[in-house]
Amino acid sequence: MPKRVSKVKRIVLLGNPILRQVAEPVRRLDRRVKELVEEMVQSMESANGVGLAANQIGVPLRVCIAKHEGQYYVFINPEVMWASDEKHGDLEGCLSIPNVQAFVERSVEIRVMAYDQNGDRFEVEARGLFSRVLQHEIDHLDGKLIIDRAVEGGLYWVRTEKHNEEPVLIPTTPTEVEQAFLAMMNEDKHTSVKGKR
């Protein structure tokens, strides 16, 4: 028996242009897509996330997953059929933008149509957190991020200090966040050029 190989992929961070691309629809549900779903589930699990979009692991296809009440939902080519006018604001984080939180207004309720990994079409009605996670992930597939969605003055760096368990929120701006991640990415490139990885 071959050993079970880890399919955990590195999560792409802000600054990588793939996060700004509009992802392509899946045309054929082949082994590669099933493999992708498996990689996404494992990567999300290992990062303790509640949702993940394929472009967050470097694949520009319209596939996202979301965890709701301990269960994974796979959405291939998801479409929002309806979204409530009633909105609710809350803080959101993103695995691709660590240490940042954004206060984002989202529809309280949405209805989404998609295909699962077996190619079966399904619809879900999501409320509350599940609805928020789904809107966040579908945004990813359109190249939209929480730094674009944050309400005016609702974007923060999250700092945790050792002596204080409560994280501190420091107000910031989309431009500042983007520049900070770009600088980090360039630094990374610089160190890997020097060798040693």
- The site for Zn ion (CB under 5 A) is made up of 94
Given the complex with Zn ion, which of 77 and 101 has the nearer CB atom?
101
- Answer yes or no: are the C-beta atoms of 19 and 54 closer than 8 Å: no
Question: Smallest distance, Å, CB 187 to Zn ion?
Answer: 23
- Answer yes or no: are the C-beta atoms of 56 and 13 closer than 8 Å: no
Given the complex with Zn ion, which of 48 and 164 has the nearer CB atom?
48
| 35, 137, 152, 176: the active-site residue | 137
Question: Smallest distance, Å, CB 100 to Zn ion?
Answer: 10
Question: Smallest distance, Å, CB 137 to Zn ion?
Answer: 7
Beta bridge partners of 102: 92, 155
Identify the three-state secondary structure at position 109: strand
Question: Smallest distance, Å, CB 136 to Zn ion?
Answer: 6
Given the complex with Zn ion, which of 88 and 144 has the nearer CB atom?
144
Q: Please, which residues have CB within 8 angstroms of residue 147's CB and are 6 or more apart in sequence? A: 14, 97, 100, 102, 155, 174, 177, 178
Asked if 35 is an active-site residue, the reply is no
Using the CB atoms, write b or e for 163-186: b if 16+ within 10 Å: eeeeeebeebebeebeebbeeeee
Given the complex with Zn ion, which of 94 and 100 has the nearer CB atom?
94
Give catalytic residue positions.
137
